[in-house]
Structure 1
Amino acid sequence: MITRAPHCITLRMRTCVGGLPWRCDKRTLPQHFVQQGTRRMSTSASLTDQLAAQLQGPQLQQLAGRLGIAPEQAQSAVQTALPLLMGALGRNSQQAGGTDALLGALQRDHAASPDIGSLFGALLGGSAGGAQANGAGIVNHLFGDKAPQAAAGLGQATGLEPSKAGQLLQLLAPIVMAYLAKRFLGGGAATSTQLGPALAQEHQQVRSSSGAGSLLTSALDQDGDGQLGLGDVMKLGGSLFGKR
């Protein structure tokens, strides 16, 4: 049973982190989840939730120090930024050739990434190198010239300054790619038929979220008309992991 806390509302269960379920905090996005003391395991955690479960403890404390914010705000920001990144990957992967392009990028640049905790620590400490550290490049390929808008939206949702929100997206982007590489290249036989449906489902889950879904749609609205139309998709599909 989940108890209500001041200023918080419980919308629905999604996953557990370290065996601790999450509740929704209306002070941030409606799909932001805060740890509670009631233990209950979830059997249908999304890719985003599973990755979030690995970004805890010392690395989260280090991230808070890097951004100059409280650990609680850092956790909130991570829980908001991950769906934005994963949803953008899922949307792009549904375009012609998008999944194959993503799979190629995972195999080329992220197959040899260390475990998530080590990579996160290396990125925060500045010791990561090569494509693994090219968070800015990944974010730019995902959002194109709307990358500043994505950072601004993330900042507004989490209380971060836009510059810090952009920095967070760039730190997390290689983490997301490394996670997908380990998840789908672990056996060395991953195909677009495995990766594509998983990301499509992830995108749908993000779009169904009133908070993260609105932020994603706004960030991917390349025409500035408030809607994600065919023109937006064509522009994004041509830039994903390709030469701009």
Structure 2
Amino acid sequence: MTSPIAQDLLGRLQGQPLSDIGRQLGLSDSQVQGAVATALPLLLGALGRNASQPEGADALFGALQRDHAGEDVGSVLGAVLGGGGQGAGILEHVLGGRQQTAIRGIEASTGLDGDRAGSLLKMLAPLVMAYLARRMFSSDPAPAGTTPLSPTPQSLGSVLGEESRRIGESGGLAGGLLGAVLDQDSDGDTDLGDLLRLGGSLLGGR
């Protein structure tokens, strides 16, 4: 994973948080590590694409300020594991009609079945929002290689746009999954069929 925001958030989930997510989904430590490392860039890349337009940046900024300011990843994870966190609603805003494509892509690239891939995305979405809100509205330092987030829609759109660009250019499963999900109806170079074949080869022909 070469995108610094996704890497920083994954680092904050190491240890007990990832173990708790894996236990909830019935995954081993290595399985949940790989699945989360694949899903986080997808969510952050999709947010970056949405925030690339001023109206998208305004909407995301408003949601972070209104619904997620003051949250921290640890407390949100506790709520998520208890069945809260509003993950389904967040995914609807982030992915819209591309949710099933995202689930199929996670399934193909990680070996999870569709139900667990969907549950993983619903669990991670509130964590991503809490992380971004804390980065924006607190004094948490920016990850190395990134621009500090200031509390404006323009800053949010710029930083997430750069993250999305890095993910897309990184290649591998993270970049391929992002391209397959976001560009399936456009003229992107990667389609879901390519991703399914890539995932199958990496998983030993699964």
Specify the TM-score bucket, using the shorter chain as the normaliser: 0.7 to 0.9
Q: Deviations over 1:71-102 (max 9, x none)?
A: 11001111110000000000110023111111
1:21 match: none
Quick one: distance in 1 between partners of 2:187 and 2:91? 20
Specify which structure has the higher proportion of helix. 2
Root mean square deviation, CA, Å:
2.0
Quick one: distance in 2 between partners of 1:226 and 1:167? 29
Query: Are 1:54 and 1:117, in contact at CA under 8 Å, matched by a contact in 2?
Result: no
Quick one: distance in 2 between partners of 1:168 and 1:59? 13
1:84 match: 42
2:92 maps to 1:140: yes
Quick one: distance in 2 between partners of 1:183 and 1:119? 15
**What's the % identity of the aligned pairs?**
47
SS state of the match for residue 56, structure 1? coil
Output the amino acid matched with 1:140: E
What residue ranges of structure 1 are gaps of 5+ in the alignment?
Answer: 1-30, 33-44, 229-244
Output the amino acid matched with 2:17: Q
What residue ranges of structure 2 are gaps of 5+ in the alignment?
Answer: 140-149, 190-206
1:71 match: 29
1:159 match: 111
TM-score by length of 1: 0.68
Output the amino acid matched with 1:103: F
Quick one: distance in 2 between partners of 1:96 and 1:54? 30
Specify which structure has the higher proportion of strand. 1
Output the amino acid matched with 2:75: S
Q: Deviations over 1:125-169 (max 9, x none)?
A: 33x4xxxx1111111222111101101101111110111011100
2:195 match: none
Higher RCO, Cα 8 Å, sep 6+: 2
2:143 maps to 1:213: no
In the TM superposition, what are the counterparts of 1:10-159 in structure 2 within 5 Å?
Answer: 31=1, 46-113=4-71, 115-126=72-83, 128=84, 133-159=85-111
Query: Are 1:218 and 1:226, in contact at CA under 8 Å, matched by a contact in 2?
Result: no
Output the amino acid matched with 1:184: M
Quick one: distance in 1 between partners of 2:112 and 2:184? 23
Deviation at 1:222, TM superposition (A): 5.2
In the TM superposition, what are the counterparts of 1:196-207 in structure 2 within 5 Å?
Answer: 196-207=157-168
Query: Are 1:103 and 1:191, in contact at CA under 8 Å, matched by a contact in 2?
Result: yes
